[in-house]
């Protein structure tokens, strides 16, 4: 066992059915140039049904700073909450078990966090498929990492892309989470969104870094975001509602409130788009639209487009989804490409 008093970092890794990816993830954690007595790795076995734990058993045995927590399958939110409750480090990092950290990328971020005692350090990331990851060659950057100090509110205004509320790119001060009782909403797939907004709204001192910390592995069937179905669509609704519920409870400036409202409307648009593109059953699309009209909160509207969209979602959700389906699948996918190909370029 390591001395809890020296722990600077806790790395929480939930594991569920990722036997083809979890080993590179865990290996990447130990390629960060950190002494093992300053960080701990908390692996939460979320009732995995495959060989995920078996393929990393030798790594677990080799390192004294790894703790394994076994639980029945309760989902990513509960697994992360369990890890946060167990963590002893000054800062917390939460990578997904099918992704990986870029070699030697974590140390300078952690050192800066410890030096400045900030609430959050938000880093950059790369997106790669399996083949790109296999061929990726890490090239050390001789230039020192650059950091810009901001408040959490400025991060929302200037840096937060509405569809990129990724937890794994951020170092969290554990006291920020514990003192403000910030946890993940249990039981839904898109729990990163409300958690990210809650953390940013509570964070007073943050660092934004352009350094690449993380490789997000895209396009594999094990990923939570790979497929979209009725249950995930409903989860998406809940995450939007929960985000607004938290944000609306805070005293926000008009500019910040408007920014969050615009972000949430953009997320509603993405939800509708994924519904009409990826949900084949008309019955399921109708059910999703009905659920959307019930669960979406009474968002203020900042422009005419939002007023029309909100009115239709609340009053005639089935019509809205049907019209959206025609727009996307007929106009965007067929008519518009035809016009571009046969008229504009001939």
CATH of the domain at 195: 3.90.550.10
> Tell me, what's the pLDDT at 156?
97
Q: Find out whether 209 and 198 touch, Cβ atoms under 8 Å.
A: no
pLDDT in tens, 321-335: 888 888 777 766 666
> Is 222 among the domain residues?
no
The residue from 217, 244, 269 where one domain ends is: 217
What distance in Å separates the CA atoms of residue 189 and residue 177, rounded to the nearest whole number?
20
Nearest to 289 by CA among 244, 322, 245: 322
What string of pLDDT tens digits covers the 346 residues of the chain?
A: 455 667 999 999 999 999 999 999 999 999 999 999 999 999 999 999 999 999 999 999 999 999 999 999 999 999 999 999 999 999 999 999 999 999 999 999 999 999 999 999 999 999 999 999 999 887 665 466 789 999 999 999 999 999 899 999 999 999 999 999 999 999 888 999 999 999 999 999 999 999 999 999 997 665 555 578 999 999 999 999 999 999 999 999 999 999 999 999 999 989 988 998 899 888 999 999 988 889 888 888 888 988 988 899 888 988 988 888 887 777 666 665 656 655 655 5
Domain presence at residue 133: yes
Does residue 60 contact residue 66 with C-beta atoms inside 8 Å?
yes
Q: Which residue has the tokens 């106009």?
A: 331
Phi, psi of 204 (to 5 degrees): -95, -35
Tell me if 66 sits within 8 A of 58, measured CB to CB.
no
Residue showing tokens 């410890």: 114
- Boundary of a domain, candidates 172, 189, 217: 217
Answer with the one of 217, 245, 268 that is the final residue of a domain: 217
Q: Are residues 51 and 157 in the same domain?
A: yes
Distance CA 294, CA 305 (A): 20
CA neighbor of 111 nearest in space, from 161, 67, 145:
145
- How far from 207 is each of 16, 60, 65, 75, CA to CA, in Å? 31, 32, 27, 30
Domain around 260: 230-343
Same domain, yes or no: 27 and 175: yes
224 in any annotated domain = no
The number of folded domains in the chain is 2
Give 48-99 pLDDT, tens digit per residue. 999 999 999 999 999 999 999 999 999 999 999 999 999 999 999 999 999 9
């Amino acid at each position: 066992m390591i001395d809890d008093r020296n722990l600077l970092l806790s790395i929480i890794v939930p594991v569920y059915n990722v036997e083809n990816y979890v080993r590179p993830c865990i290996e990447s954690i130990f390629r960060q140039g950190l002494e093992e007595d300053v960080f701990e790795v908390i692996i939460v076995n979320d009732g995995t049904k495959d060989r995920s734990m078996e393929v990393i058993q030798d790594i677990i045995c080799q390192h004294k700073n790894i703790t394994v927590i076994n639980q029945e399958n309760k989902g990513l939110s509960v697994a992360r909450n369990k890890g946060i409750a167990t963590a002893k480090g000054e800062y917390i990092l939460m990578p997904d078990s099918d992704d990986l950290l870029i070699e030697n990328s974590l140390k300078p971020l952690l050192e800066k966090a410890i030096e400045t005692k900030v609430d959050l350090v938000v880093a950059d990331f790369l997106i790669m498929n399996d083949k790109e990851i296999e061929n990726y060659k890490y090239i050390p950057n001789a230039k020192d990492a650059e950091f810009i100090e901001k408040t959490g509110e400025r991060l929302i205004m200037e840096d937060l892309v509405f569809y990129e509320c990724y937890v794994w790119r951020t170092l969290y001060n554990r006291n920020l989470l514990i003192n403000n009782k910030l946890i993940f909403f249990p039981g839904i797939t898109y729990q990163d969104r409300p958690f990210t907004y809650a953390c940013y709204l509570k964070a007073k001192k943050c660092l934004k870094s352009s350094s690449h910390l993380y490789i997000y592995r895209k396009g594999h069937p094990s990923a939570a975001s790979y497929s979209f179905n009725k249950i995930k669509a409903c989860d998406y609704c809940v995450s939007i509602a929960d985000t607004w519920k938290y944000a609306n409870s805070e005293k926000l400036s008009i500019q910040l409130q408007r920014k969050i409202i615009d972000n949430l409307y953009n997320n509603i648009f993405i939800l509708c788009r994924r519904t009409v593109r990826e949900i084949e059953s008309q019955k399921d699309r109708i059910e999703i639209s009905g659920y959307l009209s019930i669960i979406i909160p009474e968002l203020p509207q900042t422009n005419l487009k939002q007023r029309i969209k909100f009115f239709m979602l609340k009053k005639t959700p089935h019509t809205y989804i049907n019209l959206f389906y025609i727009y996307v699948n007929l106009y965007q996918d067929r008519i518009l490409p035809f016009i571009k190909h046969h008229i504009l370029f001939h």
